[in-house]
């Protein structure tokens, strides 16, 4: 795998500005390979070491794919733990800072349903959460249901959540 400049990946000026603000200069190999494939609509399973840029490899296309005018869940990112969900959500917030109208919400157990439901009703387009809590929201009909863009998951968390995948299809 080779590295490319982020400017070579066909990203919007808003994303390039956020990436620059984060101090990223060159895309890591996992990002150079995964971002164009994900943005073209391909299903991708990537494997890379901790700290190699996997979150940005799926986070950048997730943010890029969101229609900021559509106030509904468009992307779900599954994480196996609440700690990882919070960490990934923070990265999504940083990546979307210059993409006006894009909202993300972390959803995981141990946090108030009211806060999560309020964020969904306000039109969060990106949900970052744990499989169990995502299933709870799907079952409750709180705004997570049909999502046109995709489901992403670091650390193969999607494999641990067949119920989410079944209800998402």
Beta strands in the chain (DSSP E): 75-78, 104-107, 126-129, 150-152
| Beta carbons of 131 and 78 less than 8 angstroms apart | yes
Tens place of pLDDT per residue across the chain (169 aa): 678 999 999 999 999 999 999 999 899 999 999 999 999 988 888 888 888 899 999 999 999 999 999 999 999 999 999 999 999 999 999 999 999 999 999 999 999 999 999 999 999 999 999 999 999 998 898 888 755 455 665 554 444 444 444 444 4
| Beta carbons of 68 and 125 less than 8 angstroms apart | yes
Sign of CA dihedral 166, 144, 160, 43: positive
Architecture of the domain made up of 6-168: 3-Layer(aba) Sandwich (3.40)
Backbone angles phi, psi at 152, to 5 degrees: -120, 155
Interior angle at CA 12, CA 9 and CA 147, nearest 5: 95
Give the residue extent of every domain in the chain: 6-168
């Amino acid at each position: 795998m080779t590295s490319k400049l982020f400017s070579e990946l066909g990203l919007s000026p808003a994303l390039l500005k956020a990436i620059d603000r984060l101090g990223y200069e060159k895309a890591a190999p996992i990002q150079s390979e995964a971002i164009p494939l994900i943005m073209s609509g391909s299903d991708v399973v990537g494997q890379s070491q901790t700290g190699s840029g996997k979150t940005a490899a799926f986070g950048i296309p997730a943010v890029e794919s969101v229609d900021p005018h559509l106030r509904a869940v468009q992307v779900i990112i599954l994480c196996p733990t609440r700690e990882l969900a919070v960490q990934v959500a923070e990265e999504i917030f940083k990546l979307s800072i210059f993409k006006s109208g894009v909202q993300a919400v972390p959803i995981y157990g141990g946090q108030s349903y009211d806060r999560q439901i309020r964020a969904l009703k306000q039109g969060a387009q990106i949900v970052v959460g744990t499989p169990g809590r995502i299933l709870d929201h799907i079952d409750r009909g709180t705004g997570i249901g049909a999502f046109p863009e995709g489901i992403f998951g670091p650390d193969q968390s999607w494999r641990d959540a067949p119920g989410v995948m079944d209800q998402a299809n």
